[in-house]
Amino acid sequence: MVRENEVRLNEVAVEPPAPVDAGLVYIGCIHTPWTFRMETPRQGRPDGPLCTIEVFEPWVAALRGIEAFERLEVLYWLDRSRRDLVLQSPASNGEVHGTFSIRSPVRPNPIGTSIVLLEKVEGATLFVRGMDCLDGTPLIDIKPDRTLFKPIAPPQKGDFETGQGDA
């Protein structure tokens, strides 16, 4: 079942504390074919439909070099989600799971992440496959897929520390 905003059998909602402003800015907008949650994929797939990520000014300059990466990690704000459930029943069958043990869009800070395939960049627009969000979902960050990225800055002490010898 796709959630609109209902609370299901055995789910638990809490009174969330007042939000603290983390200073988040929407840096763009994601355009997808999906306008209803009922149709939206649960998770994006690499052979899914071509979607576009529009980056707003003044952030367009920040795209420099991005075309070198075949895969990107995209972070977005699941803006139409409720944020107060601690136990959720994805199957609507009364069996509940803790919010942090699942990837539901319903979370205290509704951040979604997807690994997408980058097909091309045209100015401020990225053409990608692998999204799973509603059309118009706000974009909060883009990073190279971590498995493709080697830090450019020199290594630091902690990079050489291992857990060997820990109790």
- Could you tell me the two tokens for 14? 């809490």
71 binds ligand SAM (CB under 6 A): no
104, 116, 139, 142: which one binds ligand SAM (CB under 6 A): 104
8, 71, 80, 129: which one binds ligand SAM (CB under 6 A): 80
- Exposure of 34 in the CB half-sphere (CA atoms within 13 A): 20
- Could you tell me the two tokens for 160? 């050489």
Residue 71: other Cβ atoms inside 10 A: 17
CB of 148 to ligand SAM, least distance (A): 19
> What span, in angstroms and rounded, lies between the C-alpha atoms of 30 and 147?
23
54, 79, 84, 145: which one binds ligand SAM (CB under 6 A): 79
74 binds ligand SAM (CB under 6 A): no
Tell me whether residue 147 or residue 162 sits nearer to ligand SAM (CB atom).
Answer: 147
Q: In which residue are the tokens 């190279």 written? A: 144
- Could you tell me the two tokens for 70? 């075949």
Site string for ligand SAM, 134-163 (x = CB under 6 A): x--x--------------------------
Stretch that binds ligand SAM, among 10-18, 62-70, 105-113, 154-162 (CB under 6 A): 105-113
Cis peptide leading into residue 110 (ω within 30°): no
> What span, in angstroms and rounded, lies between the C-alpha atoms of 115 and 72?
6
Binding site for ligand SAM (CB under 6 A): 2, 37, 40-43, 78-81, 103-105, 112-114, 132-134, 137
